[in-house]
Amino acid sequence: MRSKRVFLICAVLVIGVLLFSLSACAKEETTTSSAPATTAAPSTTAGPETTAGPTTTGAPAGEVKTLKIGTIMPQTGPLAILGLAFTRAWDLYAEDVNQAGGVKIGNDTYQIKFIHEDSKGSAEGASTAASKLVNQDKVDLVIGAILESEMAAINQVTEAAGVLYAQANANIPGAPQDVSSDKPLQVRPFINHDETGPIDLDYIAKTYPEAKKIALSVPDIGYEGMVERLQAQVAARGMQIVAQEKWPWGTTDFVPIMTKLNAAKPDIIWAMVSGQANDQLKAARQLGFKGVFVSNSPLGADVFVVTVQDPAALTDVICNSVDVTHPTPEVKKLMDAWQAKWPNDPFISDAVHAYDMPWVMVQVMQKAGAIGDAATLVKTMEGMTNPGDIQTLHGPGYIGGADRFGVNRVLYRPLPLSRIMNGQIEFIGFMEPVKE
Amino acid sequence: MSSLDLWLQATVNGIALGWLYVLMALGLTLILSIMGILQLAHGEIYMLGAYAVHYLVGRGLGLYPAIATSMFIMAVLGIILERGLFRPRSGREVVLCSIVISTGLTLILTSAIVVIFGLYTKSLPLLATGSVEIFGAAVPKDRILAIGFSVLALVLLYLFLKKTRLGLAMIASAQNREGSFLKGINPNRMSMAAMAIGCALAALAGALAGAILQLQPYMGALPMIKGLVIIVLGGLGSIPGALIGGLILGLIDGIVPVFFSPAVASVGPLVVVILVLLFRPKGLLGHD
């Protein structure tokens, strides 16, 4: 009995020491996911005109008020990685604003306070979080949600309470949960991923004129509308979609999907908005696909380089995410702030989109001259349709969407375009969205 | 690409996946047959094994030495878990306790990895790059290597169980715990060995899967479910059953998405399990 106790105590001590040393060492470690140093070709076009960052007031003159923004993101469960990137970016935005003395809206100066709530990746969680933020915390604005079900749940609460809701994502642009005229207090300071379609197709037509046959890899989460839209854009350029495969959410092994797509002998494999486009590229190349690979996902080109590893596979890859190897000064500032605060975690390019969201909403409030009255704010936002009306980390943008969603409540801003050749990232430039 | 090439590519991929499942299921079934418990945190040992390789590679160790070291570390962890948590004690309901303990362990180990390594996806160095052409079909080299390592592990396990005193004692203990005890075989030692071997195999599976796919804290859940399906399909406690069940599941996952759809493939194993249990309630190679 005594020897058992001694063994148990020793075992606990050994585990404790191991965990402690592992934790300490891991903190020093540079993870393989961090951005690699790449020697990139010079960009062919200049980046966007740089903006001054969030408009702040300097030291406040009088009473400083608080702008309370409630956020609802999955902070637990498989989607927590996205929630984490977004909430961190929002915290960094608040730090930037508050350290500069706050933001001037109308005659008042506001410090920004975020109240983060966990949606748990579910409609129920999102609804509970929204109720708490609206009824208990009395927030001025709610931002958040990754899933369409979460958006619908939040909107039900915010509309009833007359609080402005800015959705943080659009998996399926034009879905019933997206912005529309029947949701008068819902806006989207976030561009649709599929706006990259015409940009990528034009670039391919110019750079790879022989490439005509496209195979589509599509997550099975309701992308039918996006596929239809892409089909029309493809047809308009004399190209053709020769194969299309849907795969369920949670797929990790893409060899079966790519085996099937590759059988159609495409010139281009197009991975539609997916965080696993790198796995798809790896599988496609392993199966002998040598054509152009397009990823219009949030996945950065640097993530492809680090995770796919094989330079032979990392060729003729077109990416539409923020290129963290060629950041604008503002993005670089954000990246540096991230690295200073969370040195062990690689910068996630989603943070750039996220940082823009409260910034866009603050610009709308500044234009309206007040933080209250959600309906007035929406009306003001709907009027900011001229290029340059909105500043973002990607460059000057505007509010649009009426042609597609019936209301002008969606952020449009320049979209980055990069290409990977022989394992090296080439930044092509920031491209203006094309209306088609 | 001809239909034959497609079949070949899909089959090789299915076999590679199947062998990874076999490694998972072997550990589970070994632990189940000798200790009589369902180690629900086995998926987390698989994940931990992969992260250990990631850590060791980051410290400068080569991939293969890192995999071997990770297997050793997980084997030691298995022994510690067996002695500290799972060893039957008088007055304690073994099955219920093991389920509660291993469920808790699942949460603790996943959270520990999130705290230490973060939520972000990590990568291991590739086992190999490119593919080889077999009858006109491109077969990824890394999958062929994974099959090779898995077969080697199974052969070594088989030789260990059949040719060594400890292995024979483990088989005896699995067949009849009380009887083997009367013959002088210490059941606690057998349990310890089963946990060590099971955890080492899970670490190998995790490392191979991590090199082929990617690492993330929740990566153990799906293989764990596959492992459970396999041991039910193959027969509780049957090592040949785990082998056959694993390969069946792998082939379903490799072939069905190519010729039907991934959605059908996700239902396939459950349909097979139901059919097998209808006609053979103890599984394909199960026994009393």
| CATH number of the domain encompassing residue B47 | 1.10.3470
* pLDDT at residue A79 in the model: 79
- To probe the interface with B, which of A253, A282, A341, A348 has the most B CB atoms within 10 Å? A253
Nearest CB among B83, B115, B263 relative to A11 is that of B83
> Model confidence over A403-421: pLDDT tens digits?
999 999 999 999 999 999 9
> Model confidence over B113-166: pLDDT tens digits?
988 888 778 889 989 888 888 777 788 899 899 999 999 999 999 999 999 999
B176 band by pLDDT with thresholds 50, 70 and 90? confident
Q: Where are the domains of chain A?
A: 64-193+328-414, 194-325+418-431
* pLDDT at residue B288 in the model: 58
* pLDDT at residue A172 in the model: 83
Nearest chain A residue to B259 by CA distance is A260
B1 domain-assigned: no
Range of the domain at B205: 9-279
Tell me: pLDDT of A297 over 90.
no
Tell me: pLDDT of A31 over 80.
no
Chain B CB contacts of A260 below 8 Å: 6, 257-258
Its ipTM equals 0.82
Chain B CB contacts of A348 below 8 Å: 120
Q: How distant, in Å, are the alpha carbons of A16, A252, B56, B57 from that of B62?
A: 26, 25, 8, 6
* pLDDT at residue A30 in the model: 32
* pLDDT at residue A5 in the model: 53
Tell me: pLDDT of A24 over 50.
no
* pLDDT at residue A233 in the model: 95
Separation in Å, CA of A259 to nearest CA in chain B? 7
**Are A259 and B262 a contacting pair at CB < 8 A?**
no
- Return the CATH class of domain A64-193+328-414: alpha beta
Tell me: pLDDT of A393 over 70.
yes
List the CATH code of the domain at A194-325+418-431.
3.40.50.2300
Separation in Å, CA of B6 to nearest CA in chain A? 7
Nearest CB among A252, A256, A344 relative to B213 is that of A252
C-alpha B53/C-alpha B206 separation (Å) is 9
Tell me: pLDDT of A240 over 70.
yes
Tell me: pLDDT of A219 over 60.
yes
B183 band by pLDDT with thresholds 50, 70 and 90? confident
Tell me: pLDDT of A2 over 60.
no
Tell me: pLDDT of A20 over 50.
no
Separation in Å, CA of A41 to nearest CA in chain B? 25
> Model confidence over A325-383: pLDDT tens digits?
788 888 999 999 999 998 878 788 889 889 999 999 999 999 999 987 899 999 999 99
**Mean pLDDT, range B97-119, rounded to an integer:** 90
Distance of CA B166 to the CA centre of its chain: 21
* pLDDT at residue A267 in the model: 97
* pLDDT at residue A54 in the model: 56
Separation in Å, CA of A115 to nearest CA in chain B? 22
Considering chain A, what is the average pLDDT of its residues? 85
Nearest CB among A25, A30, A286 relative to B131 is that of A286
> Model confidence over B220-274: pLDDT tens digits?
998 999 999 999 999 887 888 999 999 999 999 989 988 888 888 888 888 988 9
Considering chain B, what is the average pLDDT of its residues? 89
* pLDDT at residue A379 in the model: 96
In total, the C-beta contacts within 8 angstroms joining chain A to chain B are: 127
Separation in Å, CA of A21 to nearest CA in chain B? 10
* pLDDT at residue A50 in the model: 37
Tell me: pLDDT of A23 over 70.
no
**Are B258 and A256 a contacting pair at CB < 8 A?**
yes
Q: How distant, in Å, are the alpha carbons of A271, B70, B207 from that of B124?
A: 23, 13, 8
- To probe the interface with A, which of B2, B7, B13, B222 has the most A CB atoms within 10 Å? B13
> Model confidence over A145-192: pLDDT tens digits?
988 999 999 999 999 999 999 999 888 888 889 999 999 999 999 998
Distance of CA A215 to the CA centre of its chain: 24
- Cβ-based neighbours of A385, under 8 Å, separated by 6 or more: A398, A399, A400, A408
Least confident window among A150-159, A297-306, B76-85:
A297-306
- For β-strands A410-412 and A395-400, DSSP reports them as antiparallel
* pLDDT at residue A33 in the model: 32
Count: domains in chain B = 1
* pLDDT at residue A43 in the model: 33
Chain B CB contacts of A312 below 8 Å: 129-130
Tell me: pLDDT of B87 over 90.
no
**Mean pLDDT, range B76-98, rounded to an integer:** 84
User: In this structure, which amino acid lies at residue A74?
Assistant: P
A64-193+328-414 against A194-325+418-431: fold identical: yes
Separation in Å, CA of B233 to nearest CA in chain A? 23
**Are A246 and B119 a contacting pair at CB < 8 A?**
no
In B105-157, beta strands by DSSP E: 131-134, 137-140
> Model confidence over B10-50: pLDDT tens digits?
888 899 889 889 999 999 999 988 888 889 999 999 999 99
> Model confidence over A38-87: pLDDT tens digits?
323 333 333 333 344 555 554 445 568 999 999 999 988 777 878 988 99
**Are B123 and A33 a contacting pair at CB < 8 A?**
yes
Tell me: pLDDT of A93 over 90.
yes
- Backbone φ and ψ of B174, nearest 5°: -65, -35
Tell me: pLDDT of A22 over 80.
no
* pLDDT at residue B91 in the model: 64
Token pair 């801003």 is found at A413
| Residue B270 touches chain A, beta carbons under 8 Å | no
* pLDDT at residue A34 in the model: 31
Using CB atoms within 10 A of its CB, is residue B169 exposed (0-12), middle (13-18) or buried (19+)? buried
Nearest CB among B59, B84, B129 relative to A11 is that of B84
> Model confidence over B274-287: pLDDT tens digits?
998 898 888 888 76
